[in-house]
């Protein structure tokens, strides 16, 4: 029994997400058009996987998730461990991208357990997917343990780097400067926009903990440019949110209103949870009114009220995107 080669698929896994979000992407930050189905012999399963992958690439995440679920059902029917590993992994990633963190965590956990019973424990890329889902659900301890597992067991430097980034986010959330500095040092020096943006995201959070709002704002706005350069829509929304928080903390409330509005608008288009986008737009409106920016306040109201029509209503699953 041979599992699919996880080097390329796992190396793809986390160039952009999470936080979305966690997406299978190539070195340039865009999802690869090729899915590694090595080890899967059933042609029909491969066909379903490839169709689902094309839907994912086109941004049709609900359709992709349905396709991967069908592939997983067939894999279970054939008792095909290789197909179970790949379909389960891609289903979890698709669920993450469409804002279904609970489903993503469940799919990843079931797949990991299934493979462990077959003598294939570990699978660091899949552990990282589950860690990301747990983080979004606010299950910090589980997310930390899974991220550490991915770091210790992965031979893929990209998976290790993304897991290290996640530990940095968790450290920042609990105000642990020491662990956050360790995560920053553990990130590889890289000119790849995604990895450079990860370092800036953690650097900005450290600056916030050190009450240096100006340095944090500069880090987050640079991060936003790098996320944009790599086509990471969810990452752009997160970076704009961080920049807005830094601006507000630094007393730049007028500028913060604009950044909160831009973050909310970006979150809407990136497909983030409706609650998240609505909260950002509502805060943008409040700050805009307080800083005498009636046009900005009105635009924030207009976009927030349009959320149901845009199909971005919240499902209550997500704590935050990263």
**Tokens of residue 43, six digits:** 């042609």
Burial 67-103 (b: 16+ CB within 10 A, else e): bbbbbbebbeeeebbbbbbbbbbbbbbbbbbbbbbeb
Whole-angstrom Cα distance, residue 208 to residue 201?
11
* Residues sharing a CB contact under 8 Å with residue 111, sequence separation 6 or more, in sequence order: 84, 85, 88, 89, 92, 126
HSE of 131, CA atoms in CB hemisphere, 13 A: 30
- For 190-316, CATH gives 1.25.40.10
- In terms of Cβ atoms closer than 10 Å to its own Cβ (0-12, 13-18, 19+), residue 293 is buried
C-alpha distances out from residue 309 to 105, 212, 220, Å: 28, 40, 31
pLDDT value of residue 273:
60
Q: Is the dihedral of CA 154, 156, 160, 162 positive or negative?
A: negative
Contact at 8 Å (CB) between 75 and 87? Answer: yes
Whole-angstrom Cα distance, residue 268 to residue 284?
14
- In terms of Cβ atoms closer than 10 Å to its own Cβ (0-12, 13-18, 19+), residue 106 is middle
**Residue tagged 């979004």 (tokens):** 136
**Residue tagged 């999470």 (tokens):** 18
pTM: 0.81
pLDDT value of residue 307:
84
Query: How far out from the chain centre does Cα 57 lie?
Result: 16
R_g of the chain computed on alpha carbons: 20
**How long, in residues, is the chain?**
322
> Could you list the pLDDT tens digit for every one of the 322 residues in the chain?
444 444 333 333 333 333 343 343 332 333 443 445 667 889 999 999 999 999 999 889 999 999 999 999 999 999 999 999 999 999 999 999 888 899 999 999 999 999 999 888 768 899 999 999 999 999 999 999 999 999 998 889 999 999 999 999 999 999 999 999 999 999 988 888 999 999 999 999 999 999 999 999 999 999 999 999 988 888 899 999 999 999 999 999 999 999 999 999 998 887 666 788 999 999 999 999 999 999 999 999 999 998 865 543 434 344 343 3
Q: What is the DSSP letter of 58?
A: T
Report which of 239, 232, 240, 196 is spatially closest to residue 26, judged by C-alpha positions. Answer: 232
* Residues sharing a CB contact under 8 Å with residue 235, sequence separation 6 or more, in sequence order: 16, 20, 21, 194, 197, 227
């Amino acid at each position: 029994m041979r599992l699919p080669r996880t080097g390329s698929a796992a190396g793809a896994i986390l160039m952009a997400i999470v936080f979305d979000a966690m997406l299978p992407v190539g070195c340039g930050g865009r999802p690869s058009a090729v899915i590694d189905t090595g080890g899967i012999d059933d042609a029909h399963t491969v066909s379903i996987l490839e169709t689902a992958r094309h839907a994912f690439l086109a941004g049709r995440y609900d359709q992709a998730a349905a396709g991967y679920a069908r592939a997983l059902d067939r894999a279970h029917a054939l008792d095909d461990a290789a197909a179970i590993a790949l379909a389960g992994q891609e289903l979890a990633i698709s669920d993450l991208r469409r804002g279904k963190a609970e489903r993503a965590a469940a799919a990843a956990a079931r797949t990991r357990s299934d493979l462990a019973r077959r003598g294939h424990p570990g699978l660091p890329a899949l552990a990282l997917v589950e860690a990301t889902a747990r983080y979004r659900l606010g299950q910090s301890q589980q997310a930390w343990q899974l991220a550490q597992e991915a770091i210790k067991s992965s031979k893929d430097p990209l998976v290790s780097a993304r897991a290290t980034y996640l530990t940095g986010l968790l450290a920042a959330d609990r105000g642990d400067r020491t662990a956050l500095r360790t995560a920053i040092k553990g990130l590889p020096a890289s000119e790849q926009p995604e990895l450079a943006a990860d370092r800036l995201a953690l650097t900005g959070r450290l600056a916030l903990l050190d009450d240096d709002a100006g340095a944090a704002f500069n880090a987050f706005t640079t991060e936003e440019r790098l996320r944009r350069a790599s086509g990471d829509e969810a990452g752009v929304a997160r970076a704009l949110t961080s920049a807005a928080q830094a601006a507000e903390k630094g007393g730049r409330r007028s500028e913060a209103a604009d950044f909160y509005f831009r973050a909310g608008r970006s979150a809407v288009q990136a497909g983030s949870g409706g609650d998240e986008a609505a909260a950002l737009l509502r805060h943008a409106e409040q700050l805009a009114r307080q800083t005498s920016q009636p046009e900005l306040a009105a635009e924030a109201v207009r976009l927030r009220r349009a959320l149901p029509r845009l199909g971005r209503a919240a499902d209550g699953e997500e704590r935050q995107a990263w």
